[in-house]
Amino acid sequence: MKVFGAFAFIAALVVAQTIDNGEKRLIALSDDDQRWLTKSEIDDLIENNIGFADATNGDWDSLQTFGFERAQRPENKTYPAGPVHETLVRAIQANVTTSALEKTLTEFVTKFATRHKLSAEGKASSTWLFDQASALKPVNPNIKYTVRRFEHNWTQASVIARIEPISGQTANDTVVLSGHQDSINRSTNHTYAPGADDDGSGSISILHTLTHLLNSNEWNPTRPVEVHWYAAEETGLQGSSEIVKSYAAQQTDIYAQVQQDMIGYYKPGSTPVVAFASDFSYIPLVDFLKKLVTKYLTIGYVDRTIGYASSDHASWFRAGYPSSFPFEAARGNSNPYIHTSNDTLANINWVHVADFTKFSIAYVVELTQQTKAAC
């Protein structure tokens, strides 16, 4: 994930382009600025936490075209006035423990030295996530649950888990919960990139969210739910761009999307919050999500700008879908160790990860749970 802009650095790329033996990629730094950059120059963007999208194969531009098309047929998604399923949400949230989250994230981070999209370990870590999700079984016998790989032309596959609605849904009106599974670290040539916070924290949180939902016999979803683990976010939102493009091409309807990317850190001494991206987000959805924070968490929320192509929610937003990005900290208080060898378990705040997991549970349940008809 990339959250900080650096205009002087981008300008410097125009003045002095470095020489690199690798293939150049077409990189989007804004809607009005696309340029061919070498691998070394792209690594410079990553090292300086500058958001970008890889537009080389046309997916990024295709998403914009789909977004223009969707704007011609506005759907005006609306959300509940407030939370209405408190009993069920709190019952499922009660199963969230910091010890379980720590155990799973520790295994994920220590089992794979890197999760880079081109590495053998990046492929193995994707398989590990697929196996973890595939091993889950819904307690509710009425729920149909499937897991699939979404293959790309690089080593690492994305993983998609899907829960079919039981009854009463709007066709394809899907609720998406997502994170990215890959990690990156230029200083070791990507051979050691623990990515505990970025985005091991989000990947494991949404896995636990899925586990707790499937372990509930009282949850009766009326909308499809999908949990996505994207490949290749760190190299320009490549995995999510391909997936969103395929959904948009099929005119798949999305009711809401929440991205969980970096949820395990806030600056020591600062106040823990959920920091909602105010840019590249669907504000009616964000307004509803804020109500969930107020109702179900003991921490507050703030608004903050995140920047261009900072995480996979931007792929959804570009294609005209209602997206959102609840982030770990206010500006200046987020993890300074990302994309380095120091993005380790030692810097994870487990209570914060648990809070975001509880938030994800509330998000899915409140937007999908069957509402009993009045007598």
Give me the residue spans of the domains in the chain: 78-368
Handedness of CA 82, 86, 89, 93 (dihedral sign): positive
Q: pLDDT tens across 252-268, in order? A: 999 999 999 999 999 99
**Phi-psi map region of 66: left, alpha, beta (phi>0 left; psi -120 to 50 alpha):** alpha
Q: Is the pLDDT of residue 22 over 80?
A: no
Which one has a higher pLDDT value, 2 or 71? Answer: 71
Q: Does residue 373 register a pLDDT over 80? A: no
pLDDT of 4: 53
102 in helix, strand or coil?
helix
pLDDT at 7: 45
Q: Give percent above pLDDT 90 in the chain.
A: 87
Residue 167: predicted pLDDT: 75
Q: What percent of the chain has pLDDT over 70?
A: 92
What is the CATH topology of the domain spanning 78-368?
Aminopeptidase (3.40.630)
Q: What's the pLDDT at 177?
A: 99
Q: Output the six-digit token pair for 199.
A: 């985005």
**In the sheet where 326-327 sits, what is the strand order?**
300-304, 273-277, 326-327
Across 277-287, average pLDDT: 97
| Residue 180 in tokens | 């990215």
Give me the pLDDT at residue 126, please. Answer: 99
Burial 266-294 (b: 16+ CB within 10 A, else e): beeeeebbbbbbeebbbeebbebbbbbbe
Is the confidence at residue 374, as pLDDT, over 90? no
Cα separations (Å) of 43 from 186, 205, 319, 343?
A: 6, 28, 26, 17
- Element housing 39 (H / E): helix 39-47
The DSSP H or E segment spanning 104 is helix 98-111
Q: Count H helices, E strands: the chain?
A: 11, 12
Least trusted range by pLDDT, from 71-75, 157-161, 362-366: 71-75
Average pLDDT over residues 204-223: 98
Q: What pLDDT is recorded for position 3? A: 66
